[in-house]
Structure 1
Amino acid sequence: MIELEVQVLSDRREGLLVELGRVVVANGFTLVRQRLSQDSRGTWLTMIVRGPTDRQLAMEEALATHSRVLSFEAGLAEGRPAMAAMAQAASAPGPAPLAPPAPLTQSAGPDVHQVESTLPQLARDYPKIYPWLRNLEHAVAADAREASLHLAGRRTGAWVYKREYAMGARLTLVDAIKRIAVPAMRELASVDWRDGQLLIQNSPLCSPGSQSGCRFFSGYIEGVLGGSVEPQTVFVRNLFCRSHGAASCILEISH
């Protein structure tokens, strides 16, 4: 079981909790508590949800791509500021003040519409996808760029897993990296697996002095490994990037 904090932004308050609550329940999660608030951007819904680890990716994708959701972020509930704010509000007398919850990250959420519009082209031309990813980068707002690349990566990785690897047995993380993630990544770039780290050489999305594209690869690996390992929650962290002066991009993969 895993407990997550989910934060979404919508343009309308009416029925938001009911609609997204149905998505949460349909994916095997329970709604522990929630908070609705409003600001100039729209309605914020913060939910603490608990459910099976192997359904996390499916639930996050369903919420992120929901027609009511303009911005989406999710993370482990432990220590999240919005969670603490809700707990304080629950114990205080009277209604909670109408203020937006603290953001989970400094950047905006993904541009779900643009990502969804790009996915058919990625699937059609895979693995020759870099022109479409460049188009995606230019089509979204600057503060949504990294989150949009990450979501596109996760959706693409999940599609590749279902197409090429879904019939295999559950694997340990190391075996899944060697047998699934590395071969899948080699369809997109020159990579090597060394001492627990994935090296991407001459990344097509990361050039010296340019913006990093490693968030796409992080999402891609999370998506392609999500259904293959026990437990199914996979985290990918960018350690070094060619865009920032490193010789190669280096990713760390963990549970």
Structure 2
Amino acid sequence: MIELEIQILSDRREGLLVELGRTVVANGFTLLRQRLAQDDRGAWLTMIVRGPPERQLALEEELATHSRVRSFECSLFEGGAAPPPASGPAVARAPIAAAPATFAAPASSVPPAGPDVRQVESMLPQIAKDYPRITPWLLTLQRTVAAESREASLLLVGRRTGAWVFKRDYAMGAKLGLADAIKRIGVPALRALATIEQHGEQLHIQNSPLCSPNGHSGCKFFSGYLEGLLGASIEPQNVFVRSLYCRSTGAVECILEISH
């Protein structure tokens, strides 16, 4: 478990803790303590929360894009529980053989930060306009955001884009199980953006346009895209996508694994 210190600026304090506290709890975190203050800029809410490290980015995304939030900062709480040491990548399931560890999805040496919400929000209208020819916009996002915000920003723009595609193309359908959702929605939607192959609950992306050899990994976009797309199509609405292997670290192809 990790402990995070979250600082939020809002226009008003009434109901702020209750509303944002619901978001904290919904993402599997526990509110340890909080402080609410007011100055000439608005209401400042500081929260110390504890929860699973794999849900940190999801929590940051929901808080950063909440309608009550004007400014958002998140960092590991000093004196809190240190995050567990990064383990090696899980061996891929039956569809593929184990690959050398050097091809595993990269673990950034830059301490992670929240997404650059302003940059993402400014880009979403252009992505909607040019979809599915959106690779140039995503490459621009990779270059222009701060290194510590790159992965979170790609994840956020992926989730927002995936949710938008679902509402546009698939919202009229019935709720599906995960396997059917991957086959009927995830695969055809992702094929609009990249060349892929499906192997059960794994999707193999060939020659990913966002993951050049020895460059930055763009797998967070595809992970977020699938989470946003599939999360609204299944019951319950919890989909997790992790990158097993990435072309940017020398793998032949990028491999994503979907679970719920």
- TM > 0.5: yes
Aligned counterparts, 1:226-245, within 5 A = 226-245=231-250
Greater mean deviation of Cα atoms: 20-29 or 207-216: 20-29
RMSD: 3.6
Aligned to 1:90: none
Deviation at 1:246, TM superposition (A): 0.5
Q: Tell me, which stretches of 5 or more residues in structure 1 are unaligned? A: 50-56, 74-80, 83-98
1:234–1:253 Cα contact (<8 Å) kept: yes
Return the offset for 1:29: 5.9
SS at structure 2 position matched to 1:70: strand
Q: Deviations over 1:102-149 (max 9, x none)?
A: 687941111111111111111111111111112212221110000000
Superimposed CA distance per residue, residues 158-200 of structure 1 (whole angstroms, 9 cap, x where no aligned partner): 0000110011111110000000000110010001101331000
Residue equivalent to 2:19: 22
Measured after TM superposition, the shift of residue 47 of structure 1 is 4.9
Read off the aligned partner of 1:22 and give its amino acid letter. Answer: E
Task: Give the conservation status (yes or no) of the 8 Å contact 2:31–2:47.
Answer: no
Deviations 1:59-94 (A, max 9, x none): 976522133342469xxxxxxx97xxxxxxxxxxxx
1:199 match: secondary structure: strand
**Could you say if the C-alpha distance between residues 104 and 19 of structure 1 is closer, same or farther in structure 2, counting changes exceeding 3 Å?**
farther
What does residue 72 of structure 2 align with? Answer: 70
Q: Residue 203 of structure 1 is aligned with which of 197, 200, 208? A: 208
Q: What is the alpha-carbon distance in structure 2 between the residues aligned to residue 193 and residue 9 of structure 1?
A: 41
Provide structure 2 residue ranges, at least 5 long, that are not aligned to the other structure.
37-43, 52-57, 85-110
Q: Whole-Å Cα distance in 1 between the matches of residues 17 and 83 of structure 2?
A: 19
User: Would you say 1:172 and 2:177 are equivalent positions?
Assistant: yes
Work out the number of aligned pairs and report it.
Answer: 217
1:181 matched residue in structure 2: 186
Query: What is the alpha-carbon distance in structure 1 between the residues aligned to residue 196 and residue 71 of structure 2?
Result: 35
After superposition, what is the alpha-carbon deviation per residue over 1:20-70, rounded to whole angstroms, capped at 9, x for unaligned?
5335559996996452369xxx96424579xxxxxxx8x976522133342
Counterpart AA for 2:216: Q
| TM-score between both structures, scaled by the size of structure 2 | 0.71
Q: CA deviation at 1:239?
A: 0.3
Instruction: Call closer, same or farther: CA 1:24–1:153 in 2, change over 3 Å.
Output: same
1:110 maps to which residue? 115
Cα separation, 1, equivalents of 2:152 and 2:30: 26
1:207-248, CA deviations, whole angstroms, 9 ceiling, x for partnerless residues?
111110000000000000011112210000100000110000
Which deviates more, 15-24 or 26-35? 26-35
Q: Which amino acid aligns with 1:35?
A: R
Q: Give distance in 2, aligned partners of 1:6 and 1:221.
A: 26
SS at match of 2:215: coil
TM-score (norm 1): 0.72
Mapped partners of 2:228, 2:184: distance in 1: 15
Partner SS, residue 34 of structure 2: strand
Is contact 1:6–1:47 with CA below 8 Å preserved after alignment? Answer: yes
Partner-residue secondary structure (3-state), 2:256? strand
Aligned to 2:91: none
Distance 1:137 1:231, change over 3 A: same
The sequence identity of aligned pairs, in percent, is: 53
Give the secondary-structure state (helix, strand or coil) at the position aligned to 2:196: strand
| 2: CA distance, partners of 1:16 / 1:231 | 32
